């Protein structure tokens, strides 16, 4: 895939979070993908990723991921984002830096860097 194809893939991935539809989100991943929210342990495989995402989004009704910057170099796409999770009880707004490695049109690795204390503070 070209760099522009890789950027388009990640833009579509980020937009998919609006509905918090976990099966549609998982469609973007390779079966052996690695997902690492840097404040916690990395996980591998769609089943593990599904479990973490379900836990992560369960208090929310929708997500709004604003991409402020996106760039690709080969099969790597970097995003600077503001991830907003909107629920009945609260909204979390989190600045995030994400790194995605693309293989055969799927996300093979995803690393997000953010301040865990900002998440925790907004969830309480």
> What are the residue numbers of the active site?
83, 112
Spatial separation of the C-alpha atoms in residues 43 and 35, rounded to whole Å: 5
Which run of H or E residues covers position 26? helix 22-26
Query: How open is the CA angle 102-36-112, to the nearest 5 degrees?
Result: 80
Q: Look at residues 111, 107, 114, 116 and name the one whose alpha carbon lies nearest to residue 99.
A: 111
How many angstroms separate the Cα of 41 from the Cα of each of 27, 72, 98? 22, 25, 16
């Amino acid at each position: 895939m070209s760099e522009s194809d890789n950027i388009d893939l990640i833009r579509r991935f980020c937009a998919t979070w609006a509905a918090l539809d976990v099966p549609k989100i998982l469609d973007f991943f390779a079966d052996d993908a690695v997902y690492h929210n840097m404040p916690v342990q990395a996980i591998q495989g769609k089943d593990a990723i599904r479990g973490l995402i379900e836990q992560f989004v369960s208090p929310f009704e929708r997500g709004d991921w604003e991409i402020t910057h996106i760039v690709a170099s080969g099969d790597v796409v970097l995003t600077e984002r503001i991830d907003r999770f909107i629920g009945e009880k609260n909204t979390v707004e989190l600045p995030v830096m994400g790194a995605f490695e693309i293989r055969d049109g799927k996300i093979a690795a995803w690393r997000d860097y953010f301040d865990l204390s900002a998440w925790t503070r907004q969830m309480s």
